[in-house]
A and B are shown apart, each in its own frame.
Chain A
């Protein structure tokens, strides 16, 4: 038995946050597996990290910038940008409606 117990409700909530649809089977599977995985992660608490500065990257570079000028090398043309889209309208990507008509 895992020490950590993650509720199925948490799994459902996380799936919504991640914009993923999961089956009932996956709900159960992930509920069990997440508890196991978090048990492994919880071992980190055995290590004292008081006052330790967290590391988010390891290449020692800081504030990498570029001149604020248009660089055509890093821009796709409109035709290129649209070339992989299934649903295009007059040179635009078509997306799903997210606001209702009568919502303010």
Chain B
């Protein structure tokens, strides 16, 4: 093999292990070396799994005796630091949980471990996943591997940057509204948000319980599909997880063209304020999907500015309730350690839920949510998928969140509607503006993961937009 280990996808790593080109120990030590070399520069990992090499040796032993028997055997994974992991500190990038060691394991990481994966470490995020920049982390921002003066996006900024800088072949993120797709777009990698309820939230530090959706950030769509097939499925510990059967997504990516498919290009998502270059890239993507056989036409949906209002109220309200439990009595530290962003969100949620305002804000937002859900349901009667940009522009500079109390909402305006409706959506690179990556979202109806992944894979494999930043290539 000519490629270095960090240039291989998860599926290529599995083939390499099968063909004995390298061992699990080779893979893990290669990644640990890279993390030690680059992490100080990028501030991606908040904790590194010191037992990773021992675990690798153990899995090498398993493979020697029985061959490869598990779907992710020997694959290192970076985990966003809001997933509880036994033996590794879990902070949600907040000082409230500094030094906290979980008493139980999240379902997502439990399933990854059972599939043979090895946790490399825990990645930085906006504190409590509140934001779209990773700048609200109380452990300092993660830097964008494409330009160290820029933000990686968020909240899963550490996970996206880890894949972009090739410090992990794949990472786990969580999305409440854009937190997988937006950092993936800003870092030029692939993000996949499964349907709400497809992946268990158990052991994920709760942000907005009615939209939180864990999912993968990967080098390509096929890897994202494989990871999703492992982590998805009903969980007795999460009453909102769906009992629908999980498909072997990675084995179903068999479409050779998009003939017979109808795709809607959302007119309102081409924002007036958006840079022309971004609009051009989305237009090019639409043409490309047409060249693959799909019929692409403009579709009109509600102005996404209303989704901002809905999301702001619902997310803050749920945050105020979910973060009420942190009192420093049973674990963690006191509430005086909450940062400014968390305080602002908890307090706004407390306000919108309080007597006299509940009807005006919370109930109103829930009613508009219904309208957004119904609008998508109608759209998907006519379209197999809808497309648009993930973010209005490329990665912004460090410091961009300062004095912007609605920063996350403005950056996530194009992904909030689909999150509010609990849809599934893939974010894939679709070109560059100012040498910075731009992402395309391909969104489908609930539980249409296989279709969305097929479109995304075909698009990705017939275009040439997946690149990794030069300075972390060696």
Contacts and interface: CB of A to CB of B under 8 A. Distances in A.
Interface of A: 10-11, 14-15, 17-22, 26, 29-30, 33-34, 36-37, 40-47, 49, 52-59, 61, 64, 66, 74, 76, 80-81, 83-87, 93-95
A84 B325 CA distance: 14
Contacts of B313: 41, 44
7 A-B pairs with least C-beta separation: A84-B331, A54-B366, A58-B422, A49-B367, A59-B197, A64-B239, A33-B405
Given A20-B335, A40-B308, A57-B210, A84 B103 contact: yes
A47 B335 contact: no
A97 to B, nearest CB: 13
A74 B370 contact: no
A43 B135 CA distance: 28
Helix, strand, loop or mixed for chain B's interface? helix
A55 B370 contact: yes
Interface in B314-334: 320, 324, 327-332
Given A41-B313, A49-B371, A59-B242, A85 B331 contact: yes
Contacts of B196: 58-59
B305 to A, nearest CB: 6
Interface of B: 100-101, 103-104, 196-197, 210-211, 236-237, 239-240, 242, 302, 305-306, 308-310, 312-313, 320, 324, 327-332, 335-336, 338, 340, 343-344, 346-348, 350-352, 354, 361, 363-371, 373, 405-406, 409, 420-422, 446
Give the residue among A43, A59, A87 with the most B Cβ atoms within 10 A. Answer: A59
A35 to B, nearest CB: 10
A57 B103 contact: no
A58 to B, nearest CB: 4
A54 to B, nearest CB: 3
A63 B280 CA distance: 47
Contact of A83 (B103, B211, B422): B103
17 contacts: A20-B338, A26-B340, A30-B343, A33-B344, A33-B405, A40-B308, A41-B361, A43-B305, A44-B309, A49-B370, A49-B371, A55-B367, A55-B370, A58-B421, A61-B240, A84-B330, A84-B331
A41 B103 contact: no
A1 B226 CA distance: 50
Contacts of A43: 305-306, 309
B364 A57 contact: no
A44 B335 contact: no
Contacts of A41: 309, 312-313, 352, 361, 365
